[in-house]
Amino acid sequence: MSKAGTRKSIFITGAASGMGLETARLFSKGGWFVGAYDVNLEGLKTLEVELGSENCVVRSLDVTDRTDYGKAISEFGEATDGKMDLLFNNAGIGKGGFFDEQDFQDVLDVVNVNFIGVLIGIHAGVPLLKATPNSLCFTTSSSSATYGMPGIAVYSATKHAVKGLTEALSIELSRHGIRVADTLPGLIDTPILPDEAKANAPTEGMFRLIQPIEVAQAVWSSYHDNPDRLHWFVPKEIGDLDKASAMDPEGTRASIASQGPLAAALEEVKAANAGK
């Protein structure tokens, strides 16, 4: 008998913190066998103690390392008799700033972790997903995939890429019986958010600060309750923003430019131009 036995199994990246951690806890409580992966091994070890070593495998993994990601998937398969009910590609980093002022290595890091890491994970994970009836490939996109967001342009672009990939693969991978979906969370109270963003978060509306358990619940519902839904907006009002920006991109641009980090800079440019 394999370590997972007859239990369903989930492979989670970014599992040492935030949404990945809450998802590991929720699925473990629900009787699932958990594979938890992160660059933060210390956080994973704490999780292993919490879940019980018989209920999980934890392993250091940098999602940008294709060879090691492949090894992690094989080891997971050994613990689950070659099955994977749910692949949750969730690891991400959030280095931002105005694009032209960003260190280019930071730009590449964001693309590598948030998008290339997802490509590596799905490519390596498909054989196990394929071997598992009713499997789900789930990825963390972002509310910043509803419209390109100033101040986090590259981060936002990687999350658009994840959203587009999800849409295309949900059709392609259906030929293997694999479901594909993603989540577009708003502002979630996790360590990735700068303290300033948390302190300035509105108390209501779609960008209120939300606890990571709500994203974990979306992952749970995607597998168990609504297998057909493609995008899980958390909170669901983010879906309204998605529709609005598709219907009226120029209006959305004006609205975003009038608030947020670019407003002051744009006012300065306008004033300088008016003086010419």
Q: Does 185 bind ligand NAD (CB under 6 A)?
A: yes
Asked if 73 is part of the footprint of ligand NAD (rule: CB under 6 A), the reply reads: no
Among 80, 90, 170, 245, binds ligand NAD (CB under 6 A): 90
Cis peptide before 212 (omega within 30 of 0): no
| Among 25-33, 76-84, 90-98, 129-137, the segment contacting ligand NAD (CB under 6 A) | 90-98
Q: Which element (helix H / strand E) includes 188?
A: strand 187-188
Consecutive H or E run containing 106: helix 104-111
Judged by CB under 6 A, which stretch of 35-43, 121-129, 250-258, 264-272 contacts ligand NAD? 35-43
Structure tokens at 175: 């030929």
Give the range of 59-67, 199-207, 217-225, 261-269 binding ligand NAD by CB under 6 A.
59-67
Dihedral sign from CA coordinates of 63, 123, 139, 59:
negative
Number of residues this chain uses to bind ligand NAD (CB under 6 A): 31
Q: Which is nearer to ligand NAD, 20 or 125 (CB)?
A: 20
124 binds ligand NAD (CB under 6 A): no
Q: HSE-up of 169 (CA within 13 Å, CB side)?
A: 21
- Per CB under 6 A, the list member of 92, 96, 125, 150 interacting with ligand NAD is 92
Interface with ligand NAD includes 166 (CB under 6 A)?
no
Q: Is the Cβ–Cβ distance between 186 and 197 less than 8 Å?
A: no
Interaction between residue 128 and ligand NAD (CB under 6 A): no
Rg (C-alpha) for the chain, rounded Å, is 19
Residues of this chain, 248-267, that bind ligand NAD according to CB under 6 A:
none
Q: Tell me if 182 contacts ligand NAD by CB under 6 A.
A: no
Write out the H or E segment, with its range, that includes residue 154.
helix 153-172
The DSSP code sequence of 24-87 is HHHHHHTT-EEEEEES-HHHHHHHHHHH-GGGEEEEE--TT-HHHHHHHHHHHHHHTTS--SEE
C-alpha to C-alpha distance for 196 and 155, rounded to whole angstroms: 18
When asked if residue 40 is in the footprint of ligand NAD (CB under 6 A), the reply is yes
Segment interacting with ligand NAD, rule: CB under 6 A, options 62-70, 73-81, 165-173, 220-228: 62-70
Residue 80 interacts with ligand NAD (CB under 6 A): yes or no: no
Question: Contact residues for ligand NAD (CB under 6 A)?
Answer: 13-14, 16-20, 38-40, 61-64, 90-94, 113, 117, 140, 142, 185, 187-188, 190-193, 212
